[in-house]
Structure 1
Amino acid sequence: MTPNMVGFSFLMIGVFLIIGKVVRLHTKWLRNLFLPSSIIAGFIALFLGPDVLGRLTSQFLEQGSIFYNGLIPDFILDVWRPLPGMFINIVFAALFLGKKVPGVRKIWNVAGPQIVMGQAVSWGQYVIGLLLTLLVLTPLFGMNPLAGALIEISFVGGHGTAAGLASTFENLGFAEGADLALGLATVGILVGVVAGIIIINIGYRKGFAKHVGGKEYFTEEEKERLGESHGFEMEPQVKEAKAIEPLAFHLSLIAFAIVIGYVLQQGLILLEASTWGAWTDVVLFPYVPLFPLAMIGGVIVQIFFDKLDIHMYIDQNLISKISGFALDVLLVSALATLSLQVIGENIMPFLLLAIVATVWNVFAFLYLGPRMIPEHWFERGLGDFGQATGMTATGLLLMKIADPEYQTPALMGFGYKQILFEPFVGGGLVTAASLPFIYQFGPVVFLIISTVITVFFLIFGLIKFNPKRKGKVQTAEQSN
């Protein structure tokens, strides 16, 4: 493959992004679903590729023809396939850059209930996924036990995490898992938006949603911005590094964060190989992808800038744009190379995973929300529900619909939650390590661990934050 072919493949991503943008602009129902142009572009490319249009063109063209497998030549797809695993590192390295990390006490005081509930929901997704796999998917459909991690990877992690773990799935002998994860992530987005809006309407009629209304939920400009920015709006900083182009400077910061992550990864691999790996002949870190460690690298870079009091040189808006660009490339390439044949061959396990995940998320919001979030549980819980179904942006838009005037602390709590949530689950260290852990120790061991942790967070949240219990404690203190 020549450099020109690689370059042309990247140019085609830009072409499909423009097509996706135009389609989104002229299709109202896609805007109402808040799907970004990159996801639309990815599905258009998928439709024009070998699994859809290619099945038709292969009937009329001779094998070896450039369009035998559809309108996207094979060499372009060959370039696109490894891109998700590369660009996910940029997304995660940029996650905390430009954000001054507040103290743990402040984070806990504001977002403690949402942190605990988010952890309970995420670990609970492992529990229900592993139970479904052990009891149904493996015995009846012969599914790989690694399928037990698909719900958490797809619904909480989303498209980016699902795509970024493609190489891990392949290395562990479950290559089809990446396609199933991407498909489930798409289902998660649709479930999050549709089910969330239905819940808001029911909550409004029943009096739970007290802040809905007052103005149109979103203007057309807000809809466009939310969909294209994946839900994040950043404020520009005041200073720039003048000795170097701002874009090059911020790219360098992200690159440095990834390098730190790579050094950490190789250090952990060497440490494991010379200690418990050599003693037990069981290794995990060679299968753990780079992106969660790149995220830690980004935190280290940010702390360094904070300590030297030069954090103002990191433009959060520019970091967000670089991250958004990487995420767009990741989504287009991942969805365009998605194997519909794999999903079709595993349609029953796929549907069962989607249904079980949806039921768990709805149950967690409606039952655990009012019992684990003491104040404004509906608005704050909606953010967690949206994030638990595949996209942070889904949580943001649901909170905006339920609280358009920001009369509750939902948005602040949701933002603080990410600092003690994202590093672990939803694409963090636990999500990345879950596949190699199941592979090495078996699904039963990870099920036991996940169950214990889920029960811990449930009990802790129901005791610590239960509104009825807090009310009784306050009454007792007042009487004394």
Structure 2
Amino acid sequence: MTDFTPWTLLTDAGLIGLLLVIGTVLRARVGFLQRLMIPASFIAGILGLVFGPSLLGWLPFSDQLGTYSSVLIVVVFACLAMSDDFNILKVKGPVVGFSAYSVLMYAIQVALGMAVVLVCVGPLLGVGDEFGVLIFAGWAGGFGSAAAVGQVFSDAGQPEMQSLAFMSATVGLLAGIVGGLAQAKFGAARGHAKEFSGMHRIPKSMRTGVLDHDDEPEAVGHHKFSGASIESLGFQVSVIVAVSAAGYGVSELLGGWFPDIAFPVFSIAFVVGLVARGLFRATRTTRYIDRRSLNSISGTATDILIVCGIASIKLDMVSENWVAMVVLFIIALVICLFLGLIVAPRTLQDGWFEKQIFTWGWATGGVNTAIALLRVIDPKLRSGTMEDFALAYIPVVPVEVTAVTFVPSMVLAGAAWAVVGIWGAVSVAAVVVLLVVVRGARSAGRTPTAAS
């Protein structure tokens, strides 16, 4: 093993950049990838897996490839804390049902995934309780949560869980894209998708991933400073890097005080980000922060994270547990299909198909997948799903953050059944809210339209 130097980092970054460029070009040129709308970062990750150390060994990645994912998820959570609002009081009206459905989609993956491992998969196949986190960590959470959860288990002496979590996210993303496109065709045939008449109507820019000259480009960010002082993007990056480093510093400090407890850096960075945000607000300098720029930084970190995550999968660890993972993936698929095709049409009222396919996207791969699928069936975003989800997702945030932060630690502490109880109770609460909303809609004469 060679020493890790700044030049090693540059080499790794160059290889990752090259893979992303190749992935982007392939998406823009290869019809098969366009029809499936495979993200460029996913293509790059698969290329890194095939040509990297796990298989052919042609790409000279360092042994720190998997560690980059742990660092990048800290950046993502720092951006999240600095850019999103979490006022749960904003959720009201018809959005409540959509919100409850979204909470149910996430919480049931946590509770049922753990319960199945404890009751069935674990005793029959001899896997540990930690396998119960793979569904929500890879599917509902996507690559970000996979990196976060994998980091906790790696720090606890179970590095194989990171590869398994990334494999779960990889399968989840594929299931989300393929399943979402299949549902789009189903919805068009049944008349559920009001704005979608077939795959041939998908805009070229969505298929290739390259904006046409006629498309009005969306701003990546806004300048907040004069270049005579500091480059605006440089300031936004500086804030996020400082928050991320502070999160790492606090975790190291806490680790020294409480050596028997593992403190996830990403969750501490999230808290530090909230504190930093409060300081900006208290000093009346929040105008210095540009949310669009932070979202771009977060998106870039996520793209690189996906490449590193897939490329760093250790296939030998996956092959040793493939039966258990296949069982879990089937269960995850059944959960998402049942909620999307049975529950959604009976509870989400107007625009149920657009709402459920958006939820399907983030429940299998992430918000980027959700937006891509929504734009397939609702190209001009006339359904209002994006606006509704912006509010509906607010109650999901604490459910997601607490699951990613505490479930791995609870499992490591032997409290796996507590995970089932807590997130099972959240699932039941979400069902109760859905039933109340449906009853209220019927009383008001807005009976939800069931699937025909």
- TM-score surpassing 0.5? yes
Matched, 1:245 2:226: no
From 267, 270, 276, the counterpart of 1:292: 267
| Structure 1 gap segments, 5+ residues each | 54-69, 278-282, 476-480
| Change in 2 beyond 3 A, CA 1:125/1:213 | same
Most deviating of 407-416 and 354-363: 407-416
Cα distance, 1:270 vs. partner? 8.4
RMSD: 3.0
| Change in 2 beyond 3 A, CA 1:414/1:436 | same
What's the counterpart of residue 64 of structure 1? none
8 Å CA contact retained: 1:371, 1:462: no
8 Å CA contact retained: 2:103, 2:395: no
Most deviating of 233-242 and 140-149: 233-242
Cα distance, 1:430 vs. partner? 1.8
What's the counterpart of residue 356 of structure 2? 381
Cα distance, 1:128 vs. partner? 2.1
What's the counterpart of residue 31 of structure 1? 34
Q: Deviations over 1:290-336 (max 9, x none)?
A: 21332343344445445655444323333233223322332222211
Letter of the structure 2 residue corresponding to residue 236 of structure 1:
G
Q: Distance in 2 between the 1:289 and 1:33 partners?
A: 35
From 257, 260, 263, the counterpart of 2:243: 257
| Change in 2 beyond 3 A, CA 1:442/1:96 | closer
What's the counterpart of residue 302 of structure 2? 327
From 76, 89, 107, the counterpart of 1:105: 89
Q: Distance in 1 between the 2:191 and 2:25 partners?
A: 39
| Structure 2 gap segments, 5+ residues each | 212-216, 447-452
Letter of the structure 2 residue corresponding to residue 171 of structure 1:
D
Q: Deviations over 1:431-465 (max 9, x none)?
A: 221011122133222212222221111112221x2
Letter of the structure 1 residue corresponding to residue 165 of structure 2:
A
What's the counterpart of residue 71 of structure 1? 58
8 Å CA contact retained: 2:23, 2:43: yes
Most deviating of 233-242 and 42-51: 233-242
| Change in 2 beyond 3 A, CA 1:18/1:200 | closer
SS in 2 for 1:78: coil
From 405, 420, 442, the counterpart of 1:471: 442
Q: Distance in 2 between the 1:214 and 1:354 partners?
A: 29
What's the counterpart of residue 201 of structure 1? 185
Q: Deviations over 1:17-67 (max 9, x none)?
A: 2222233232222233333222211211211134322xxxxxxxxxxxxxx
From 404, 415, 419, the counterpart of 2:390: 415
| Change in 2 beyond 3 A, CA 1:409/1:346 | same
Q: Deviations over 1:109-143 (max 9, x none)?
A: 46432322121111111222122212332112211
8 Å CA contact retained: 1:17, 1:41: yes
What's the counterpart of residue 428 of structure 2? 455
From 346, 350, 364, the counterpart of 2:321: 346
Most deviating of 248-257 and 145-154: 248-257
8 Å CA contact retained: 1:114, 1:384: no
Count of aligned residue pairs for this structure pair: 437
Letter of the structure 1 residue corresponding to residue 99 of structure 2:
I
Letter of the structure 2 residue corresponding to residue 240 of structure 1:
F
Letter of the structure 2 residue corresponding to residue 48 of structure 1:
F
- The structure that has the greater radius of gyration is 1
8 Å CA contact retained: 1:77, 1:337: no
Q: Distance in 2 between the 1:386 and 1:306 partners?
A: 34
Letter of the structure 2 residue corresponding to residue 386 of structure 1:
G
8 Å CA contact retained: 1:241, 1:313: no
The percent of aligned pairs where both chains have the same amino acid is 26
Cα distance, 1:249 vs. partner? 0.6
| Change in 2 beyond 3 A, CA 1:19/1:241 | same
What's the counterpart of residue 359 of structure 1? 334
